[in-house]
């Protein structure tokens, strides 16, 4: 793999396994937690005190009591409701190291807007899980039913897991922009979005993906609020004959974000970009596949918050099996989606245009 940025985090000899069902993912994570020999490191934006969250709490407490080093880093805003009622005091009482990321501080109010959006689990520096799944019942068929969120996560074994553990440890210690030296001969690499070399690393990586595309760009994101430069990259790709398709949810848990997304539709559709809205349920997956042989997935949305504010973590890979499966999943999702046609979009009600304007004004805060 050609990695132009010196801040890329790379390694080879990894085994990648994809998950698109929460129950399967959670069971795999719990199994690996149960088999940990030395360390368990967990980061999550949302960690709910529900049927899923309680399973993880019990599993982590059990391992901590058995002498395993357990570190849990939760975002104070994303998991703010579970802090009420002191639900997590039992973690510290049972030997778990617990950290709340960027709790509210009147002296530093702007820090509260910068969230840790990473979803990361490392086991013994040998196994790592990253992706879009939070720890909550909304992603479980068993507990939430057919309307569970559609998401994507990946399990990695091999040298890349050690890199992920180092990333966790430095982040835990407060070094939020640390990364190890590059290894430029790998098929897969971990990329945080805020490094000493580049403040907006993920945005730069996506720029390289879009400009190097030869045939296709298939993009899935739940929160689609791209800055104007990223919009132009997608428009330019479509105008030079690249098959650019964007999949977003029809059902969104943040309505203002959906209005802001609509504000970008006009220019994209006019340039030949195809936009689809996923119909059955909430779409929370964050994946991009270029030319069927280069892909990224992780925690970053295609929006201002992921590009410029939050802390995110993605894997970029040329692993043939993973790229093929992600592209297959994308095609499957399209069969449950409705394409937005420009003619019909131009005839939308005036009220919708006003909501788009309001959403776009708020784009940097969504």
Q: Is 93 a residue of the active site?
A: no
Q: Is 119 a residue of the active site?
A: yes
Identify whether the C-beta of residue 48 lies closer than 8 Å to the C-beta of residue 137: yes
Report the C-alpha gap between 225 and 246 in whole angstroms: 12
Question: Which residue in the list 284, 303, 329, 333 is annotated as catalytic?
Answer: 284
Report the C-alpha gap between 35 and 201 in whole angstroms: 34
Q: Is 124 a residue of the active site?
A: yes
Identify whether the C-beta of residue 244 lies closer than 8 Å to the C-beta of residue 273: yes
- Could you say which DSSP state residue 116 is in? B
Identify whether the C-beta of residue 5 lies closer than 8 Å to the C-beta of residue 136: no
Count of CB atoms situated within 10 Å of the CB of 85: 9
Question: Which residue in the list 32, 187, 227, 291 is annotated as catalytic?
Answer: 291
- Could you say which DSSP state residue 112 is in? G
Question: Which residue in the list 136, 286, 319, 333 is annotated as catalytic?
Answer: 286
Report the C-alpha gap between 186 and 14 in whole angstroms: 9
Q: How open is the CA angle 311-326-30, to the nearest 5 degrees?
A: 65
**Which region holds residue 178: left if phi is over 0, alpha if psi is between -120 and 50, else beta?**
beta
The 3-class secondary structure across 287-325, one letter per residue, is EEEECCCEEEEECCCEEHHHHHHCECEEEEECCHHHHHH
Question: Which residue in the list 75, 124, 227, 303 is annotated as catalytic?
Answer: 124
Q: Is 111 a residue of the active site?
A: no
Residues noted as catalytic = 117, 119, 124, 284, 286, 291
């Amino acid at each position: 793999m050609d990695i132009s940025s010196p801040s890329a985090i790379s390694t080879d000899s990894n085994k990648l396994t994809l998950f698109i069902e929460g129950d399967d993912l959670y069971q795999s994570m719990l199994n690996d937690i149960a088999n940990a020999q030395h360390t368990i490191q967990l980061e999550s934006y949302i960690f709910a005190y529900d049927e899923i969250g309680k399973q993880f709490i019990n599993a982590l407490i059990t391992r901590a009591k058995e002498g395993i080093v357990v570190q849990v880093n939760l975002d104070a805003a994303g998991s703010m409701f579970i802090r009420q009622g002191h639900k997590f005091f039992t973690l510290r009482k049972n030997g778990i190291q617990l950290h709340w990321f960027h709790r509210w501080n009147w002296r530093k109010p702007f820090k509260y807007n910068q969230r840790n959006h990473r979803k990361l689990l490392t086991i013994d520096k040998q196994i790592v899980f990253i992706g879009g799944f939070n720890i909550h019942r909304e992603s479980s068929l068993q507990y939430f039913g057919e309307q569970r969120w559609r998401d994507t996560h990946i399990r990695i074994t091999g040298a890349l897991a050690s890199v992920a553990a180092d990333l966790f440890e430095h982040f835990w210690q407060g070094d939020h922009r640390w990364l190890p030296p590059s290894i430029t001969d790998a098929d897969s690499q971990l990329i945080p979005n805020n490094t000493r070399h580049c403040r907006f690393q993920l945005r730069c990586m996506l720029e390289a993906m879009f400009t190097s595309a030869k045939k296709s760009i298939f993009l899935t994101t739940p929160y689609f609020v791209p800055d104007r430069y990223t919009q132009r990259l997608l428009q330019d790709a479509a105008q030079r004959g690249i098959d650019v398709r964007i999949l977003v949810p029809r059902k969104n848990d943040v309505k203002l974000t959906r209005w802001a997304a609509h504000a970008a539709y006009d220019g994209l559709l006019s340039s030949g970009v195809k936009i689809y809205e996923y119909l059955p349920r909430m779409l929370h997956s964050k994946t991009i596949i270029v030319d069927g042989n280069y892909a990224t997935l992780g925690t970053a949305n295609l929006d201002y918050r992921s590009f410029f504010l939050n802390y995110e973590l993605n894997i970029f890979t040329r692993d043939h099996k993973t790229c093929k499966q992600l592209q297959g999943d994308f095609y499957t999702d399209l069969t449950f989606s409705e394409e937005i046609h420009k003619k019909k979009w131009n005839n939308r009600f005036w009220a919708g245009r006003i909501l788009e304007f309001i959403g776009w004004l708020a784009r940097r805060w969504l």
